[in-house]
Chain A
Amino acid sequence: MRRTGILLVWAASVIAPGCAVSGFKGMAPMAEYSADSEAMAARDARGVADTPDAPPSRGEPSRATEHTAAVQPRKVVYTARMEIIVADLEHALGEARKTAEGLGGYLQHLASSRITIRVPAEKFNAAVDALTKLGPVASRDITAQDVTEQYTDLEIRLANARAALKRLQALLEKASNVKDVLAIEKELIRVRTEIERLQGRMNLLKNRIAYATITVSFRRAAHVSGHIRVKLPFWWLSQLGLETLMDF
């Protein structure tokens, strides 16, 4: 029973979130990450916008790293927010959607003048280029978030939790009294729940890495050049809108 107790404590400590995990197993991946991050820093120095032509982080190792088994490919989440001025909102929204679908992506959210699309990460630059052709870009915010550390940490915690599960299952087979069986089964439930939780987080992270997220807000062009706009002689019309309403 004492041995069982010790093993249960061990199992619990191994899968406890954010504890000893990165201390003993996380060291090697972190060192690999540091080596890899030099290349990233050099690339970042050139600017983020030209980074993700063919993002090296799709989760598949590149040719350069294939033979260096220990080196983890970088995991990067690409996000873009853009504001584009267009003459025809409906047309622009439709074109943005077609762009996503044409590149193997999909529509995530559609509002009256805003659209969020997801495209395969390696098509991120192509998608941004296609969208900028819809009209003048009023603002653009592109982010490449390196999640390698988060990914590695999750991988290790999942592996440890699965190892703990196997140990507990082996222990359960050897348990000789009801008290031990109950204690081990309680721990098994906890470990299984933890594995499901970690797996869920891992799936989400993998999806964010595999598909870049692009949100475009379209703004209708104020006027068509060559047209003269007659201002009506009612001063209060110019005081309609958010600017006056929300100004205290």
Chain B
Amino acid sequence: MRQAILATVLAGAAVLGGCEMRLDMPDNFVTVDEGSLGPYDVRGVSADGMVLAARREPNAENGTLAFWTEAVKRELAARNYTLGRSEEVESDGGLAGTLMTFSASRGGRPFTYMTAVFVTSSMFDDGEVFIAEAGGEESILTPRQDEIRKTLLTIRSAMW
């Protein structure tokens, strides 16, 4: 009974948006205060222009990881992003997800964009979609791609 009450309280707090998404920012990234205006819960930026971010969005009924992975791929492909790699991953907190790496040209310069999507389940609602993102010029991001990948997998709710 006590466990059920605790689960209800935690889930309720999460649903009410009382917990923000977190990423363990790598060295030389500063965390930007997002306030309540932008779409992100947290965003970090390096002096050489790489950006990391995390956010959460409500899931839809029957919204599976496969559904959101396909939706993200199609959305970005329609905007001239080229998918380089898509892999199944697990967040440090144990959530199954998909990490996608895209390339895109902006102003004639090559950029890399990485996004990891995770879907949570809940007894009370449809759960949530956790999204971690990273972007930067290809020449800057590529040498640190492994480190950025690890950072994206640290995505978690501050309640955890």
> Which residues of A are in contact with B by a Cβ distance under 8 Å?
81, 83, 89, 111-114, 139, 141, 217, 219-220, 222-223, 229, 232, 234, 236-242, 244-246, 248
Contacts and interface: CB of A to CB of B under 8 A. Distances in A.
Contacts of B103: 111-113
A220 B108 contact: no
B111 to A, nearest CB: 6
A139 B108 contact: yes
Contacts of A219: 80, 82, 105
B41 interface: no
A232 B71 CA distance: 8
Contacts of B75: 232, 237-238, 240
Nearest to B105: A217
Interface residues of B, number: 36
Interface string B15-31: 00000000000000000
A239 B134 CA distance: 13
Contacts of A112: 82, 84, 103
Nearest to A230: B74
B45 A248 contact: yes
B155 interface: no
10 contacts: A114-B110, A220-B77, A220-B80, A234-B71, A244-B39, A245-B43, A245-B51, A245-B53, A245-B135, A246-B135
Contacts of B72: 237, 240
Contacts, number: 76
Contact of B113 (A89, A114, A217, A245): A245
Contact of A242 (B77, B82, B113): B113
Given A112-B84, A245-B113, A246-B135, A237 B105 contact: no
A246 B77 contact: no
B9 interface: no
B79 interface: yes
Contacts of B108: 81, 83, 139, 141, 217
Contacts of A234: 57, 60, 71
A242 B57 contact: no
B39 A237 contact: no
Contacts of A111: 103, 110, 138
A6 to B, nearest CB: 51
Contacts of A222: 78-80
A130 to B, nearest CB: 21
B102 to A, nearest CB: 8
B111 A242 contact: yes
Given A217-B108, A248-B45, 4 more contacts: A220-B80, A234-B57, A241-B79, A246-B136
Contacts of B111: 242
Contact of A223 (B43, B57, B78, B105): B78
Contact of A237 (B71, B81, B110): B71
